[in-house]
Structure 1
């Protein structure tokens, strides 16, 4: 046997032994295990929440399901059964804001990151319906119109964009700029206008009747509220009225004032919540709920801002309510 033949056979034998080595087999097995996990692993439960404001919490008005973000995942919590469902944002961008449609069938989300999208999800299917892209840096708040025809999205302060979407047509129908930091948005009951609130900012935006001859998007008409002596306040949440108070708009300030604006956008009246800070409010036809510091919730009448009651605090974690009843 020649030297060249010996060298060739030696190299082949070494390659065969190398391919049969445990390290190669281990890498192959790890790869197959990873592929199997990718196909089989499902998210069972999320612990924690990544929102820092009220625009990252939403409640389905029909079922009572609570939605909130946890990174790039939307958690849908059934509070009665303490069960979770999840919607995964395939873009992997962090979700910053969300809101249900009035019928609870759809959920709209906003996100942060380069060229963030406004996404609409089918709640029952957990699937994405449409993707709307116009913002540059991040989406601060979103809302469906009560008639479900439109979605409004407000960008971060550096984004400066207020956009109105005909989401079923995937069309931006109206837009404008806002220089203030906006933290909340609310549609009127008849869907003819919406209100944005933020730092030294309460502004009414009016939707013109749709004209097919107009080129989209049209400039969005906005009018500032007349804040009077409260012009330097931070308006952290806003909610348009219902029923007999449908022409009124309610706001809450971070310093603890509940304010009412009339149909002329004028600050009509306000009351002191007697708290060191306030965070959010929720308005129905008969009640106004104000979320205050230390877990305090105060309730007022929308008819005249009359104080009605303070809701009792929830029990501390670990408290056995049944045991205290038995001791009695």
Structure 2
């Protein structure tokens, strides 16, 4: 897969990435404050993002071929290390980055399928890495020579599964590992190239440890049961466990020890607390959206940055634990993106149970509309700017006001097997929707949302709808066929057929051709009048093309799909001019801004990427 990507992108100019919206809140301790206290470091997709705290300026570390699964920053700040996931039979890479140069210092390949955790020794001599469940090994690396010193199975028992690592704060030769059925203190013997574990004794207390922190006297372990174990580092014996009465709901995900010895605790239910080191009594608390997965300190007793599973970042003041939301993102697949016609300032996305409106220049969320426990499949912004129309999996079309997010109307039972695609006409008077039942419906938008006609010819889910600029025709894509419909007489004018699951279709701006793509990995040009194929391009070497969009001047189009590559094509030449490599997940949608300056792409991991479009309008 990686070789395919290398071949496909060889010698093709790279797209310039301008901004990434979001962060992977599922990576435990994935949000870090860099030692200069001026930058945040965090992963999204296959990219490590370095963001300046004062003005939000982003830089990107590219090198991973799949989603980043763990992150560590060395105490001096010389190095950042990141590990990734990979497919089952493949090795998962660890990259050590030279932070000052923003470049790769070393690529380390030993673990299979996933790198679970990473930790630097206090003096930047060594990096210890932990493989995922299918690998189960711990490896110690020499940072200077970029070589493995030694390795060992992480757990003594085949049933044990290690989840986390923590290096000693003062000793380059001591680190701790913990997980399900395993809690061990390791000593590194460099001369003999060995690591020797000592199991900690917890008596009858059996716990799965998710996170650890230590102050060189005691190890504190946060557990899935919602309590914290305190282990004496010298004797390796359990000396306390609490809180006794009110355990943390959904477990303790992340712990940080302060100089005072008190603990910051992030739980799976979104409760963030400061608790006493003596009896684990809660001193201060605040509630955040979804499980807390990262706690990063900017100076002692000053500012705390917290990341959650909802892909939100908070800045929390130490004094009163008051939380301010500083960054938001989607925590699951983005299903659609739309840039309103004729504007270049806003765009909207839908993902899971919400629709969000964003400012295109600043990665800032302007509005969020949530429909709990439902999935929004598709959306459009009406050209007059008065409404957002949206397609939902419960078969309802919901229309919202774009300023307030107020629900203006719901059209129940719009499609039997969920509404899967939607588009509004240029005059804002009608909307066309498609469903899982293969039906295409044409409705009045303003007057009572009256159903004008239902057109049934597709045998499967309608994946995409595009309306011609004069509002008299539209084209719909489904499995095996794309159909061009007359929206005045409600009849089909033309059907193009191919042995593929069509995912996307576009009119060329001159509207005498359409282009299609889907699971057969080809982009096909078709004649609108007689439905004949004009040409076919091999668009991807691995995986379906899920979306594409043509620039307003018709000279270029962009594709994105399962190969995680954003490709810009010359329409006449049928050749790739630029390629964008930064997505860690399957690309779900792509849009070119109407001024030809910006390109937005989204993916299945919740990422929204903003690229500089390489072919600005000729002035």
What TM-score range do you get, normalising by the shorter chain?
Answer: 0.7 to 0.9
Aligned CA RMSD, in angstroms, stands at: 2.6
1:7 — aligned with what?
Answer: none
Aligned counterpart, 1:115: 91
Question: Which secondary structure does the structure 2 equivalent of 1:44 belong to?
Answer: strand
Q: Which residue of 1 aligns with 2:109?
A: 133
Could you tell me how far apart the structure 2 residues matched to 1:38 and 1:109 are? 26
CA shift for structure 1 position 271: 1.6
Tell me, in whole angstroms, the C-alpha distance in 1 between the residues paired with 2:204 and 2:247: 19
Partner of 1:207: 188
Which of 183, 190, 204 does residue 170 from structure 2 map onto?
190
What residue in structure 1 maps to residue 424 of structure 2? none
Contact kept? 1:237, 1:280, Cα under 8 Å: yes
CA contact (8 A) 1:101 1:146 kept: yes
2:249 pairs with 1:281? no
CA deviation after TM superposition for structure 1 residue 297, in Å:
1.4
| Residue 249 of structure 1 pairs with residue 230 of structure 2 | no
Q: TM-score, normalised by structure 2?
A: 0.41
CA distance in 1, matches of 2:272, 2:22: 22
Matched-pair contact (CA < 8 Å) for 2:225–2:247: no
Alignment of 1:55-66 (within 5 A): 55-66=29-40
Shift of 1:313: 5.5
What CA distance in whole angstroms lies between the structure 1 residues aligned with 2:60 and 2:254?
A: 25
3-state SS in 1 of match to 2:166: strand
Find the aligned partners of 1:119 and 1:199 in 2 and give their Cα distance: 27
Cα 1:153/1:304, change in 2 over 3 Å = same
State whether residues 254 and 266 of structure 2, in contact with CA within 8 Å, keep that contact through their aligned partners in structure 1: yes
Q: CA offsets, 1:248-277, max 9 Å, x none?
A: 111111221122100211111122264312
Give the Cα–Cα distance (whole angstroms) in 1 for the partners of residues 256 and 96 of structure 2. 23
Q: Which residue of 1 aligns with 2:76?
A: 103
Structure 2 contact 175–186 (Cα < 8 Å) conserved: yes
Q: 1:229 to 1:53 in 2, by over 3 A?
A: farther
User: C-alpha displacement at 1:170, in angstroms?
Assistant: 1.6
> Paired residue for 2:270?
295
- Structure 1 residue 306: deviation in Å? 5.0
Q: What is the TM-score when the length of structure 1 is the normalising length? A: 0.75
Cα distance, 1:220 vs structure 2: 1.6
Tell me if the contact between 2:31 and 2:40 (Cα under 8 Å) persists in the aligned partners.
yes
Q: CA deviation at 1:228?
A: 2.1
Aligned to 1:76: 50
Shift in Å at residue 62 of structure 1? 3.3
Q: Does 1:314 align with 2:323?
A: yes
2:28 is equivalent to residue 54 of structure 1: yes
Q: C-alpha separation between the residues in 2 aligned to 1:194 and 1:289?
A: 21
**In structure 1, what is the Cα distance between the partners aligned to 2:12 and 2:104?**
24
Structure with the bigger percentage of helix: 1
Alignment check: 8 A CA contact 1:119 1:130 kept? yes
Contact 1:296 1:313 in 2 (8 A): no
Runs of at least 5 residues in structure 2 that lack an aligned partner in the other structure: 1-8, 287-320, 326-364, 368-619
Distance change (3 Å), C-alpha of 1:274 and 1:104: same
Report the number of matched residues.
273
Runs (4+) off by over 4 Å: 34-37, 303-306, 315-319
Choose between structure 1 and 2: higher strand proportion: 2
Q: How does 1:19-58 map to 2 (within 5 A)?
A: 38-39=13-14, 41-50=15-24, 52-58=26-32
| Contact 1:299-1:307 within 8 A present in 2 as well | yes
Aligned counterpart, 1:268: 239
1:118·1:132 contact (CA, 8 Å) conserved in 2? Answer: yes
* Equivalent-residue separation in structure 2 for 1:177 and 1:315 (angstroms): 42
1:173 pairs with 2:173 = no
Matched, 1:155 2:131: yes
Q: Provide structure 1 residue ranges, at least 5 long, that are not aligned to the other structure.
A: 1-33, 320-328
Q: Secondary structure at the match of 2:13?
A: helix
- The change in CA–CA distance for 1:35 and 1:177 in structure 2 (over 3 A counts) is closer
In structure 2, the CA distance between the partners of 1:275 and 1:136, relative to structure 1 (3 Å rule), is: closer
Identify if the C-alpha distance between structure 1 residues 35 and 206 changes in structure 2 by more than 3 Å, giving closer, same or farther: closer
Deviation at residue 140 of structure 1 after TM alignment: 0.5
1-structure distance, mates of 2:12, 2:150:
45
Give 1:129 shift: 0.7
Q: Secondary structure at the match of 2:323?
A: coil
Query: Aligned-pair distance for 1:291?
Result: 0.5
Tell me how far apart the structure 2 counterparts of residues 318 and 72 of structure 1 sit (CA, whole Å): 26
